[in-house]
Amino acid sequence: MNTLAEENYLKAIYKLASLTENVSTNQIAASLETKASSVTDMLRKLSDKTLINYTRYQGVSLTEAGEKVAINIIRKHRLWEYFLVEKLNFKWDEVHDMAEEMEHISSNELIDRLDEFMGFPKRDPHGDPIPDCNGQFKTNDLKPISALAVSAGGIISGVRDHTSVFLQYLEKQGLIIGKKIMIKEVISYDNTVVLQMDNKTLQISREVANNLLIAI
């Protein structure tokens, strides 16, 4: 059907499209750690397969067919992550790279049965919604902690950064999904956020606050 490289491009475009309507060549290159010239080549190929809308210098968007493929890859990624954590007892910071490979296992029958085997989970270990077999899922209506005002609060429900080093830091601080937090203060000097959790006070940097998502 589609090659591994094509699938990775479609997924990257899908994720970038949630931020900006039309995705640029350079954005894709940065996201896939490749060169703009390589991206241009691939865009022509994906365009020929009518998986993206592409006109030179104009940026790209996914077609309906392309979006369907992208969502299916994300579905696989998140279900495998869930499997690795819930069934094989990996930690949430260990599963992303493995899922990056497993999301390309082609069989849909397999992934549907995996979904059923695990009881149709709704969220992956990082709080991201898992699309169902028709590609439907609730969009995450989450805000970064950095967007909250003082005395506002909520429940930790997702992360923007899936790297092992970030997730391990959160774990160490006890900042895991499901925890309730409240903003006590934002230090104006460097935007450090002081927050309350479990009757404890702790400080997180602006950068961490940007990458930690709260359900309000």
Partner DNA sequence: TCATTTTTTTAGACGAGTCTAAAAATAATA
Partner DNA sequence: TATTATTTTTAGACTCGTCTAAAAAAATGA
Where does this chain bind Mn ion (CB under 5 A)? 81, 96, 124, 126, 128, 162
* Cross-strand bridge partners of residue 215: 142, 155
- Our CB check for DNA shows the closer of 35 and 87 to be 35
Query: Of a second copy, DNA, Mn ion, none, which one does residue 126 interact with (CB within 5 to 8 Å by kind)?
Result: Mn ion
**What is the phi/psi pair of residue 21, to 5°?**
-60, -60
The three-state secondary structure class of 111 is: helix
- Our CB check for Mn ion shows the closer of 3 and 163 to be 163
**Residue 199 CB contacts under 8 Å (≥ 6 apart), including other chains:** none
Shortest Å distance, C-beta 105 to a second copy:
5
Which H or E run includes 153? Answer: strand 153-159
- Our CB check for DNA shows the closer of 42 and 212 to be 42
Query: Of Mn ion, DNA, a second copy, none, which one does residue 124 interact with (CB within 5 to 8 Å by kind)?
Result: Mn ion
Interface residues with a second copy (CB under 8 A) are 84, 87-90, 98, 101-102, 105-107, 110, 113-114, 117
Interface residues with DNA (CB under 7 A) are 3-6, 24-27, 32, 34-45, 54, 56-59
Shortest Å distance, C-beta 9 to DNA:
7
**Residue 88 CB contacts under 8 Å (≥ 6 apart), including other chains:** none
Alpha helices in 87-163 (DSSP H): 96-102, 108-117
For residue 142, give both structure tokens.
Answer: 């989450």
